[in-house]
A = this chain, B = another copy of it.
Amino acid sequence: MAFATNRGDDQAAPIFGVKIPPGYRDWKLISVAHEEGNLNDLRAQLGNDIAIKAYREGTLPFPDGAIIAAIHWQYVPSEENNKVFGRAQSFVAGPPKNVQFMVKDSKKYAATGGWGFADFTNGKPGDEATHQKCFPCHEPAKAHDFVYTHYAP
C-alpha cells in the first residue's frame, strides 16, 4: 500500500483560493500538539522550507511564500503500547481528520494579516462559513504573525 504525499486534488478552498500544496506531507516538522474537548485530536504542524527557515531564525513576520500545514488525526488509545507499559497511558495518531494550511502572501491576503487559510477533509475543501472563521480565530496571535504554533527543538 503506497501513501501518496499529494492527493492530486485540484479543488481550491473558498475565499482564499488555496489548494493542497504538492508534497506537503514531506515537509519538516515544526511541532506537535493535543487538543482535548470537541476536537479530541493529535496534531502535527509541518512547514515548507521558507517557513522552517523563518521559524529557526526567529524571523517575524513570516516572509511571503511561507506555508504551514497542520495535520489533525483522531486521538486513539494504543492497546499495543498500553500492554507494554502495563497501564492505559498511550495515545497515538488514528485516522486523519483534516489538514489545514496557512499561506503567506502579504499583498494577496493583506486583509487577513497576509495569510490565506484553507481547510481540507479527505482532500475536499470546507465550505465558506468554515473559512470565514479562520482569520478571526488567528487574530489574537497577532504578536506572532497570527501563528499559534511555536517551534519545538
Contact = CB atoms under 8 A, between A and B. Distances in A.
Interface of A: 1-3, 25-29, 31-37, 39, 42-44, 46, 55-58, 71, 73, 75, 78, 80-81, 83-85, 87, 89-93, 96, 137, 140-141, 148-153
A120 to B, nearest CB: 13
A36 B89 contact: yes
Nearest to A87: B37
Contact of A33 (B3, B25, B78): B78
16 contacts: A1-B57, A1-B58, A2-B57, A3-B55, A26-B28, A28-B28, A32-B42, A33-B90, A33-B91, A35-B89, A35-B91, A36-B90, A37-B85, A39-B89, A84-B141, A92-B150
SS class of chain A's interface: helix, strand, loop or mixed? mixed
A27 B25 CA distance: 11
Contacts of A3: 55-56, 151, 153
Contacts of A81: 33, 148
B32 A90 contact: no
Given A28-B28, A33-B78, A92-B150, 16 more contacts: A1-B58, A2-B56, A25-B29, A27-B28, A29-B44, A32-B44, A33-B90, A34-B34, A35-B91, A36-B91, A44-B44, A78-B148, A80-B148, A84-B137, A84-B141, A92-B149
